[in-house]
C-alpha cells in the first residue's frame, strides 16, 4: 500500500523506486501483487506516465490514510527513547543541501544506524505535503498554509560578489546603479525577478539588472562567478569560504541586501515524529545563535544586526 501511494504521488514507477530506495522491478512486482489481491486494476501504464484508474482513484485516499496510520504506529513503537528508525524524507535547496545540510545530516544519522535519510535537493518550491516530505528546508518563499508548521533555523544573508579577475577587468561598482553596466549573474528563483534591492542607513534603492547569466541553481552561478563571468547575487552560506580566501570579493559591501531566513517546514497535523523533531533541534543547535558561515565571512562583508526571532520549538 505504501508503494502504491508513492507511485500515485510520483506518477512514475521509477520515481517511486528512487524515493523508496527500491528497484523499479520490485515496485512493479508489489503493485501487480496488490492488484491481484484486490482483483482490480489500479493504474494505467504508458511509456510516458502512470495514471490512476477510477478504482485506483477511489482506493488512494483510504489507502494513504491507512499507510499514514501504520507509519505513525510504527514510529510510536520504534522510536521510544533515543532510537530513531525508518525513512526520513527531506527536501532542501541544492546549494544549502550540498554546502551544509548533507554534512549535518550525516553527523545526525551516525548514532542512529536504523535511520534512513532520503535527501532530495531541488531549488523549486515544491509542495511538502503533495510530495510526501517529512521535513522541508526553505530559504524565504514560505507558503501561506495552515497545513504546515514552520520553525526558523538561521538567517540567510545575501551578498554580491565577483572574482578579483572580473573586477580588475571591469572595475568595481561604486553605487547600486553601476550594476547596469556590469555582467550580472542572476538566480531565477528570486521573488522580485531581476529587481535587486539595497538599503543603507535608511536609504533604499532598487536596480533592475540586465542579467547576462541566469540559472535556477545557486551552485551554477557560484562556479560561474569563480570563473570571472560576472557579479553574482549569492548567499554567505554558499560564498563564505571563497570570501575568506579572497577568490571572491564582496561588491557594494556597505549596502545591505534583503534578509531571508532558512526555515524548517513540516506537516502541522499532529505532533512531529521524534526523528523530525530531533533533527530540527539538531539543526537549530548547529546554526544558532550565529551560523558558522556568518561567524567570519570575510573582512569586507557587512552583516547587520539581527532581530530576535521567537518561534515555537517543534
pLDDT, position 71 = 73
Q: What is the grid cell recorded at 243?
A: 570570501
Nearest CA-CA partner of 42 in 19, 14, 64, 17: 64
**What are the structural domains, with CATH classification, of the chain?**
1-78 (1.10.10.10), 156-260 (3.40.190.10)
SS (H, E, C) 146-201: CCEEEEEEEEEEEEEEECHHHHHHHCCCCCHHHHHHCCEEEECCCCCCCEEEEEEC
Q: Residue 270 has what pLDDT? A: 65
Buried b or exposed e, range 249-273, using 16+ CB within 10 angstroms: bbbbbebbbeebbbbbbbbeeeebb
pTM above 0.75, yes or no: no
pLDDT of residue 80: 54
pLDDT by residue for the chain (314 residues), tens digit each? 889 999 998 888 988 888 888 888 999 999 999 999 999 999 998 877 889 999 999 999 899 888 888 877 766 665 555 578 889 999 999 999 999 999 999 999 999 999 999 999 988 778 788 788 899 999 876 766 677 888 999 988 999 999 999 999 999 999 999 999 999 999 887 767 789 999 999 899 999 998 999 998 999 999 999 999 999 999 999 999 999 999 999 999 999 998 888 999 988 876 788 899 999 999 999 998 889 998 865 544 555 444 434 343 44
Whole-number pLDDT of residue 78: 55
Amino acid at each position: 500500500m505504501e508503494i502504491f501511494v508513492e507511485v500515485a504521488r510520483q506518477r512514475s514507477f521509477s520515481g517511486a523506486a528512487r524515493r523508496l530506495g527500491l528497484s523499479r522491478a520490485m515496485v512493479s512486482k508489489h503493485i501487480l501483487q496488490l492488484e491481484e489481491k484486490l482483483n482490480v486494476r489500479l493504474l494505467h501504464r504508458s511509456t510516458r506516465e502512470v495514471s490512476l484508474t477510477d478504482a485506483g482513484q477511489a482506493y488512494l485516499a483510504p489507502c494513504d490514510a491507512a499507510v499514514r496510520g501504520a507509519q505513525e504506529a510504527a514510529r510510536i513503537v520504534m522510536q521510544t527513547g533515543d532510537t530513531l528508525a525508518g525513512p526520513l524524507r527531506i527536501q532542501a535547496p541544492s546549494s544549502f543541501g550540498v554546502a551544509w545540510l548533507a554534512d549535518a545530516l550525516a553527523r545526525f544519522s551516525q548514532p542512529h544506524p536504523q535511520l534512513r535519510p532520503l535527501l532530495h535537493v531541488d531549488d523549486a518550491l515544491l509542495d511538502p505535503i503533495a510530495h510526501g516530505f517529512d521535513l522541508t528546508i526553505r530559504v524565504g518563499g514560505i507558503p501561506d498554509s495552515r497545513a504546515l508548521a514552520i520553525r526558523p533555523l538561521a538567517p540567510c544573508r545575501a551578498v554580491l560578489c565577483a572574482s578579483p579577475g572580473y573586477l580588475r577587468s571591469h572595475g568595481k561598482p561604486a553605487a547600486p546603479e553601476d550594476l547596469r553596466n556590469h555582467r550580472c549573474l542572476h538566480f531565477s528563483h528570486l521573488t522580485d525577478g531581476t529587481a535587486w534591492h539595497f538599503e543603507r542607513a535608511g536609504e533604499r534603492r532598487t536596480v533592475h539588472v540586465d542579467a547576462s547569466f541566469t540559472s535556477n541553481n545557486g551552485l551554477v552561478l557560484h562556479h560561474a562567478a569563480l570563473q570571472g563571468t560576472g557579479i553574482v547575487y549569492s548567499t554567505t552560506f554558499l560564498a563564505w569560504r571563497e570570501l575568506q580566501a579572497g577568490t571572491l570579493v564582496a561588491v557594494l559591501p556597505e549596502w545591505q541586501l534583503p534578509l531571508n531566513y532558512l526555515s524548517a517546514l513540516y506537516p502541522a497535523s499532529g505532533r512531529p515524529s521524534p526523528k523530525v523533531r530531533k533533527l530540527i533541534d539538531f539543526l537549530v543547535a548547529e546554526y544558532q545563535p550565529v551560523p558558522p558561515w556568518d561567524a567570519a565571512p570575510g573582512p569586507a562583508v557587512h552583516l547587520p544586526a539581527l532581530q530576535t526571532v521567537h518561534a515555537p520549538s517543534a
